[in-house]
Structures are given as structure tokens and as C-alpha cells.
A and B are shown apart, each in its own frame.
Chain A
Amino acid sequence: MAAVEQIGRAGRAAPHPFWTVGRLRVAALVVIFALWEIAGASGLFYRGVLPSSYLVVWALLGLLTSLDFWFHAGVTGLEVLVAFVLGCSAGALAGLMLGANRYVGAVLEPFLHYLAPTPKIVFLPILLILFGVGMGSKIALGAISSFFPMALGVAAGVRQVNPVLLRVGRTFSLSRFQMVRMIYLPALVPSLATGLRIGLGISIVGCLMSEIKLSRMGLGFSAMEYYRVFDIPSMLAVLIFIFFCAALGNVAIDKFVRLPGPHDRQKRKWSGFTRRFT
């Protein structure tokens, strides 16, 4: 969010008074759409690989009005939600312990560190055996995926809490519980927010990947089904829907997980958002 704000601020001193940041963003979207249409109509691609955008919009409308689609969306949504909650809370707890105890951290963190960037999809065969082909294995993969960034982020966050603030807490005779509630937790909010944001993205990846590999339901499954019957507009529509939901999730995290600060005073919200476009 802060980065977006930064770009916005820099853009206000744009070289040309007409091309404000908002207008340029709209223009960028228009250009991308136009390139898509031109490429699709040019005949350079195999027929149907790049369908015209209105076909995709049509397919999307078709999906949004079908019960079947909402069933698959619900399955994936539930998987992602459970995986995200399980993985992130386990990750946050593990991170707190790793950060709070230097020995535990020194022993275990290298493992986490080198395991974190390996693709978790390699665990899928084991998870299929353990939890079956249904939602269980998808949830497990999503949870394992989101566990790592959260654990590492929170562990680093605990160690980076300003030591002066901890000394202040000690001189005010804070209890252990008060130290956690009044100093550690607020100080950890930025690492928690980052962990949640990465965790959400990566648990979506985990769930969808395993759906695409082997499943009978979910959005990953329907995308693959549309691919199999070469219904590219519907396949793209599913992907656009997924993309949109993930973006919404990120916006929600940005909005709800943050520290109070001077930005609270600038009540921009939607009115300001629309104003920037007009």
C-alpha cells in the first residue's frame, strides 16, 4: 500500500499535467486490451488461443450465473480459507517461538530457511496418501505453503523489535503477558501483515496447483476441464475470477492489518479513490 501511495505521490508532479497517475492507469488498461484484441485478430496465433475479450466477458457472465461454477468456487474458497488460517496461525506461533528462544531459533531456523523456497508441490504424493484425493490434501498443501513465509517473517520480526522499547517495558515493570500484548504484538504488526499477504497468495497457489494436478472439484479442476474441451474463453474467465478474488483478499489484508498512524487521519477511502480517476 505504502509503495502504491509513493508512486501516486511521485506521479502528482508528473511531467504532463493531463497525464495524472489515475488517467495513465486507465490508459494502460485500454492499451493492454487493444493489444490483446489486435493479437487475437491478427491470425498469428492458433485459432482460439487468444479469443476476443468480449467472448471472455461473455463466458465470465455465463460462469457467474451457473450454480455449478459457484460450487467449484465454494470448494476452492473453503480450501484456501482453511489452509490460510491453519498455515498462518501455525506459522505465526512457530515464528514467535523461534524468535523468542535463541537456541530453538539457532537449531531449527536453517532448516526452515532452506525448506522455504523449495516448491511444496513435491509433497503432494505424500499428502494424497495421507489425506486422500478430496479437499484434505489441497488444504494440507496450501497450509504447508503458507506456513513458511509466516514463520520466517514473524521470527525475524521478533528479533527486530526495537530493544529500547523492551527496556521501557521492563522499567515500567510490565508482566510477561503485558510485554507481549502492549509491545511485541503491535511491533509485529508489519511482519504479520507481510506474512499474511504472502501466505494468502501462496496458499492459493498451493490449493490450485494440487487441484490442477489431481482432483474432481474446485476452480483448478474446472479450469483444467475447460482446457481439455478447448473452451479457452471459459478457462480464461476462471483465471480472471481467481485473479480478482486474490486481489480482493490482498486489499482486505492491507485494510485491516495495519498499525494506527498518521495515515488514519487522511480519510481518503472511496471518494478519494474515484476522484483521482476523474
Chain B
Amino acid sequence: MTIPTLRLTNVAKTFTTGGGSVRALEPISLDIRQGEFISVIGPSGCGKSTLMNIVGGLIDDYEGEVQVDGVPVRGCHKSIGMVFQEESTFPWRTALDNVAFPMEALGVEREERLSRARDLLKLVGLDGFEQRFPSELSGGMRQRIAIARTLAFQPRILLMDEPFAALDEQTRLLLGDKVLQIQQELSQTTMLITHNIAEAVQLSDRVLIMSFRPGRIKRVLEIDLPRPRSSKMMGGERFGHYVAAIWEDLREEASKGLQEMERLRAGV
């Protein structure tokens, strides 16, 4: 039996605040195998970011256990790399130096880290922009730098928290193609948090649909579309079938979330 690259066993989280406690995440168990691409999709407030922060080590007081290659891990870890939703490039570093950042922290020699950073920039399609500063590049290019920078850390698992949320639809689709290509070349195990259904179907081997608060896995859907994939598949009949199936499950949860939000806003 092969050991899964990432294994979650009964991972749960309750936030305690001054007023009381909120159950953010019901116990979740999950195995992700080497090279697999998993998407976690759910309405706002379903705890998907909490899940991501637990796996990434940014939250470390949780219940249950996270294992990488069969070894329990807690806290930030060399085998897990994260890409954030927000703008996260270092504005005082060039594209090349941004990508070289984690290698600099690990003590990789200058020549080697720059040549590897150059290769990674090429991989995300930014060759020729090595000496540009983030302020001179578009949002999509900056997010690609952030992805290349996390890849430079050579993580076993790549976690991405809605990395394209701030981008327009077309850029998002093209970047999705880029991510697919990278994942194929590196056979990178990836976990993506998203609220975009088409994105989840386009990229994933499996889609985890989460329920509204407290978050739990409502359904796991295998996406049985052939690889290599691209955004061109979006018009296909089976693609549409998966999108509809996910929306079927998600609609109920999303409307619960919406009602909750409106109640909160109205102060009831």
C-alpha cells in the first residue's frame, strides 16, 4: 500500500473569542496521493481558508493530525508551500530575486539560486521579465511570480488559497492553463481553495464540496476528464455536467451562507 503524500485525520477547529466559541471545521479526514490535484470549494464562511491555514501550518492549535508522507507535521513546514490570495510579492525585489527568496533563506548559493529562479520564471512564462519590479507588472504576472516563488521552495505539497480571486475572468482562465502545465511538468501535488466552480473542474482530479458553517465535506466528486487539460474543454458536455453537479450541491449551502450574511447585516 502506498503512503499518501498528504493525510488529514479528523482535523477540526473551534475558534474561541471573547463572546464564546465558533465551530469552524467539523472533523475532516482526507488522503491526497502523489501528483494529485485537489480543489476545495464551498461558500464564504465554510472554513476552507481555515483548513488551508491548518495544513499550511499558520494555525497550529487544532484537533486531529496532518501527515506528510506518513510523518505527522505541525506548524510551518519545509514540505508545504503556500500561495496566497492577496498580493504577496516583495515590492523591493525584482521578479528574479522574488523567486530566489526562499532559496536565499535556505542558504542556496547565489549562482545556483539565480539560475533555478530563472528556470522557474520561464516555467510560469515570465522569461524576459527577470529584472522587473512587481510594480511594473500586472496582477496576473505578480501572482505567477508568487507561484514560482513557492515552487522554488520545492514543497511536497503546493497549497493555493484562491490565487486568482483578484484577477479578471480571462486572465484567470489563462493562468489556470499555466497551472495545469506546471502541475504536469513537475507532477506537483496540489491543493487549491476556490469558490469558482469552472476553475475547480478545469484543474482538479477531485473536488471537495464543503458545507456552510460548521464546515464539513459534503461530497467528493471525481473529475474524470482526460489529461492534458486546458480551458478549451469548458464548452464540452461532460464539463458542463460536472459544473451542474457541483452547483447542485453548492446552491443550498451558498444560499444558507447568504441568508446568514443578510441576517448578520440586518442585526437580527
Contact = CB atoms under 8 A, between A and B. Distances in A.
Interface in B149-194: 150, 153
B84 A174 contact: no
B84 A167 contact: yes
B86 interface: yes
Contacts of B81: 171-172
Interface in B74-104: 76-78, 80-82, 84, 86-88, 90-94, 101-102, 104
A168 B101 CA distance: 10
Interface string A158-176: 0000001101101111100
Given A171-B82, A262-B133, A182 B92 contact: no
A172 B92 contact: no
Nearest to B77: A173
Contacts of B135: 261-262
Contact of B133 (A165, A172, A174, A261): A261
Contacts of B4: none
B56 interface: yes
Contacts of B57: 170-171
B58 A171 contact: yes
Contacts of B153: 172
Binding site secondary structure of chain B: loop
B136 A262 contact: yes
Contacts of B78: 173
A67 B102 CA distance: 57
B136 A171 contact: no
Contacts of A178: 105
Given A173-B76, A173-B105, A178-B105, A165 B88 contact: yes
Interface residues of B, number: 28
Contacts of A173: 76-78, 105
Nearest to B86: A164
A261 B132 CA distance: 9
Nearest to B82: A171
B92 A260 contact: yes
B136 to A, nearest CB: 5
A178 B101 CA distance: 11
Interface string A173-186: 11000100011001
Contacts of A115: none
A168 to B, nearest CB: 5
Given A186-B92, A260-B92, 18 more contacts: A164-B84, A165-B88, A168-B88, A171-B57, A171-B80, A171-B81, A171-B82, A171-B150, A172-B102, A172-B105, A172-B153, A173-B77, A174-B105, A182-B104, A189-B92, A259-B92, A262-B135, A262-B136
5 smallest A-B Cβ distances: which pairs? A259-B92, A171-B82, A172-B102, A164-B86, A164-B88
Interface of B: 56-58, 76-78, 80-82, 84, 86-88, 90-94, 101-102, 104-105, 132-133, 135-136, 150, 153
